Amino acid sequence: MKRKVVTLCGSVRFWNKIQEMSERLELENGYVVIGIIPHVMDRDLTEYEKNTLGELHKIKIDLSDAIFVINVDGYIGESVKKEIEYAKQKGKEIIYLESSD
């Protein structure tokens, strides 16, 4: 059985929810979850580091069947909006924590 591979997308301000959903998606849904690295909360990143992480996140999306957007209270930041657009361009499924209807 092929497992669905999903990349998490969301603001690190929701780090606890990101961790919770990573665990739930793997244990309850059987997904292979590609996560977000936690160290970005500990310090300000240089522009080079931000660009590198953005590029790496696109590669994670390329490797995935879908992205899972952690949109707590409907919040989607600018970088996550760009990730959603990228995923759409690549024909990836977009799954939201909270529906926008």
62 within a domain of the structure (yes/no): yes
Residue 53, pLDDT score: 87
What contacts 24+ positions apart, CB below 8 Å, involve 23-27? Answer: 25/68
Domain that holds residue 72: 10-96
- Whether residue 61 lies inside any domain: the answer is yes
Residue 2 lies in a domain: no
CB 18, CB 45: distance < 8 Å: no
pLDDT for residue 77: 92
Q: Report if residue 76 sits inside a domain.
A: yes
- Beta pairing class for 93-96 and 66-70: parallel
> What stretches in the chain show pLDDT beneath 70?
38-42, 100-101
How many domains are contained in the chain? 1
Max distance between CA atoms of the chain, in angstroms, equals 42
Predicted local distance difference test score (pLDDT) of residue 45: 82
Q: Which amino acid is at 69?
A: V
